[in-house]
């Protein structure tokens, strides 16, 4: 059992020794994969400048290691797909289109023949520039202009471990105000799981991140009443590399861990386990499922808050 656990944790733990301990640069981004989509304008080469200190690393490391270390049995959970109400969606604005999740959302929308307007901070790879930290511009006004003629907005913007986490993660709330002013019908936000919020309450470096997310969610609820979707994942896996911060595993390996942790035994254990252990026992969700859920949200999927692994899977499955 111990040997198996060690084998399972090896790929993640090995990152502890290769990841830079700190850096003088300020940006740590949630997505660190290189994700490329064929037939997609947005090719992502998201380079991480990691300035997370050792204590931060330890928080994520222990959660990721526990998640993988507990994996011993496999049986897929049975999903009950619900049908998404497909609307007449022609054009969608994706905020954070260059990110790990955002790039997949763009790819899915485009594969369905939907026109996509994407943003990044610097307007690279065919995106429009939108930087929540640019004090010379008003986020709401910028988004109002970008969202003109769009049926829906999906925000995949996030930042963690920077001095600006509060402002960046709250920025999606202001974007919702702009989207509403532009007459957009639906707003979808990839946020974070409530149990992560609860478990990390005492962790000071995550305080601003969580505050920002909470603020954005409030603005979205206020502006979009019954026509929003909040997607709240714990861990997201995908791509072809392992990394420690955030604790993301490559697609092939994440799939295996997902199948193990989605067994009844582990689901039950996750529900009754406290804090970070419970989070570690939640199955990681694939980036394709998160993107699929977001697209279901664009089409008017009936559930406004996807705050569990199962709900995200179900929403994604509704597209099939
Ligand atoms: N990845 C996970 O395991 C995980 C788990 C739970 C929740 N989430 C949440 O899921 C969402 C998507 O995560 P992700 O992994 O796809 O993130 P990501 O790969 O780091 O992408 C972040 C996106 O936000 C943009 N962005 C960053 N700072 C910005 C700013 N100041 N102004 C405007 N845009 C900015 C980035 O643009 P540039 O490319 O130009 O930098 C990028 O497009 C985030 O809200 C994150 O908090 C992620």
> Cα of 266 to ligand 1 centre, how many Å?
29
Instruction: Quote the Cα angle for 89-98-187, to 5°.
Output: 35
Instruction: Report the chain's C-alpha Rg in angstroms.
Output: 19
Handedness of CA 95, 96, 97, 101 (dihedral sign): negative
Cβ atoms 103, 37 nearer than 8 A: yes
Q: Which of 8-17, 49-58, 195-204 has the lowest mean pLDDT?
A: 8-17
For 17-32, how does the pLDDT look when each residue is reduced to its tens digit (9 = 90+)?
Answer: 223 333 332 333 333 2
- 91 pairs with which residues across the strands? 115
Ligand 1 atom closest to the Cα of residue 32 is 19
Q: Tell me which of 99, 173, 308 to substitute to probe ligand 1's pocket, judged by most ligand atoms within 8 Å of the beta carbon.
A: 99
pTM, 2 dp: 0.77
Cβ atoms 210, 198 nearer than 8 A: no
Separation CA 142–CA 205 (nearest Å): 29
Residue ranges and CATH numbers for the domains of the chain are 2-317 (3.40.50.720)
Instruction: Quote the Cα angle for 126-123-27, to 5°.
Output: 130
Q: Tell me which of 157, 165, 217, 230 to substitute to probe ligand 1's pocket, judged by most ligand atoms within 8 Å of the beta carbon.
A: 157
- Is residue 245 in contact with ligand 1, taking CB distance under 6 Å? no
For 131-166, how does the pLDDT look when each residue is reduced to its tens digit (9 = 90+)?
Answer: 999 999 999 999 999 999 999 999 999 998 899 999
pLDDT above 80: residue 14: no
pLDDT above 70: residue 215: yes
pLDDT at 65: 45
Q: Rounding to the nearest 10 degrees, give the CA dihedral for residues 313, 274, 190, 72.
A: -40
pLDDT at 205: 81
Ligand 1 atom closest to the Cα of residue 164 is 31
Nearest to 64 by CA among 203, 193, 244: 244
Query: 2-18 and 54-69 helices cross at what angle (nearest 10)?
Result: 150
Q: Is 91 helix (H, G, I), strand (E, B) or coil?
A: strand
- Is residue 130 in contact with ligand 1, taking CB distance under 6 Å? yes
Q: Supply the DSSP symbol for 45.
A: -
Contacts with 5 (C-beta within 8 Å, 6 or more apart), sequence order: 68, 69, 70, 71, 72
């Amino acid at each position: 059992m111990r040997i198996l656990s060690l084998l399972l944790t090896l790929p993640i733990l090995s990152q502890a020794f290769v990841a830079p301990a700190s850096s003088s640069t300020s940006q740590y981004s949630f997505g660190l994969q290189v994700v490329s989509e064929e037939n997609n304008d947005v090719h992502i080469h998201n380079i991480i400048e990691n300035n997370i200190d050792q204590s931060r690393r330890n928080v994520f490391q222990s959660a990721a290691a526990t998640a993988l270390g507990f994996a011993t049995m496999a049986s897929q959970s049975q999903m009950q797909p619900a049908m998404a109400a497909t609307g007449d969606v022609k054009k969608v604005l994706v905020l954070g289109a260059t990110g790990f999740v955002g790039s997949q959302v763009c790819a899915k929308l485009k594969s369905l023949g939907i026109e996509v307007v994407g943003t990044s901070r610097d307007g690279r790879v065919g995106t429009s520039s939108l930087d929540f930290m640019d004090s010379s511009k008003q986020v709401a006004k910028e988004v109002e202009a970008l969202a003109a003629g769009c049926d829906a907005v999906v925000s995949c913007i996030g930042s963690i471990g920077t001095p600006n986490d509060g402002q960046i993660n709250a920025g999606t709330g202001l974007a919702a105000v702009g989207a509403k002013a532009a007459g957009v019908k639906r707003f979808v936000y990839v946020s974070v799981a409530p149990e992560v919020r609860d478990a990390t309450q005492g962790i000071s470096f995550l305080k601003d991140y969580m505050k920002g997310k909470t603020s954005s969610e409030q603005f979205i609820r206020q502006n979009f009443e019954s026509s929003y979707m909040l997607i709240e994942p714990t861990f997201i896996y995908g791509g072809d590399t392992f990394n420690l911060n955030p604790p993301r595993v490559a697609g092939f390996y994440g799939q295996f861990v997902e199948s193990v942790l989605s067994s009844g035994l582990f689901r039950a254990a996750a529900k009754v386990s406290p804090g970070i252990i419970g989070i570690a026992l939640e199955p990681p969700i694939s980036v394709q499922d998160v993107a699929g859920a977001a697209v279901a949200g664009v089409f008017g999927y009936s559930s406004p808050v996807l705050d569990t692994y199962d709900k995200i899977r179900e929403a994604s499955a509704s597209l099939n």
